[in-house]
Amino acid sequence: MLVITYTPLCKWHLKNWRKMESKDEWGCQLDLNIDDIRALYSVIDYAYQTWPGSPARPAEEQEYLRYMKRQLFAMIADYTFTHVE
């Protein structure tokens, strides 16, 4: 199941990804099952591993990919430990 909802309130820039605490910022919410999370982790991991580096891509992008990879890994670990069969 993949459900994506979003509310475009303003433009979002990669350099500001850590500062998105204000409710006036653009945001979205995803409802993903564990298979979706694993697939997304795989995509983010591939992007991180093949990141071409600066100046070809913004340096903040690598930091963001690392952040997303860790967050997704935490979700997978949480699922693994709470759904032990």
> Can you give the pLDDT at residue 9?
38
Along the 85 residues of the chain, how does pLDDT read in single tens digits?
Answer: 544 444 443 344 445 555 555 556 677 777 888 999 999 999 999 999 999 998 999 889 999 999 999 999 999 999 999 887 6
Tell me the two tokens of residue 70.
């860790």
Alpha helices in the chain, H assignment, sequence order: 34-49, 59-82
> Can you give the pLDDT at residue 29?
77
pTM of the predicted model, to two decimals?
0.70
> Can you give the pLDDT at residue 50?
96
Cα distance between residue 26 and residue 85, in whole Å: 39
The answer to whether 65 and 47 have CB atoms below 8 angstroms apart is: yes
Angle CA 34–40–42, to nearest 5 = 105
